[in-house]
Structure 1
């Protein structure tokens, strides 16, 4: 079930101020994280648990999603 996100505070990376397109995240009261494309804010967001979000951030910080060189 998608929670009511009408009053959440969406945040985005500072790099998005100089580049087109980014993801926005909102930390929900129940510990989950909502994720949306800032170019389609009216589309349904993707909601994940705090654990899933932590795993994603860890992978991103460790370069696991970087393109092959």
Structure 2
């Protein structure tokens, strides 16, 4: 995926971002993929790409606290 396509994908910040500016952005990408990136990296940083099924699984696991470091 070219940088131009990735940058025009309609990125949106997490609703839990707050005012810190250190946020996660997500966007629908071509081919039905979901992209996630770190706003600190701007438009030049890496993009994690998930299938719709993998994204759904990730969200479920995150909501269930499976990635909490304090556990």
TM-score of the two chains, using structure 2 as the length reference: 0.77
- Deviation per CA, 1:15-48, whole angstroms, max 9, x where unpaired? 3132341211101242101111100021131212
Larger helix proportion, structure 1 or 2? Answer: 2
Q: TM-score, normalised by structure 1?
A: 0.79
Moved over 3 A (4+): none
Q: How many residues align?
A: 68
Equivalents in 1 of 2:16, 2:65: separation in Å? 17
Superposition CA RMSD, Å:
1.8
Where do 5+ consecutive residues of structure 1 fail to align?
none
Give unmatched runs, 5+ long, in structure 2: none
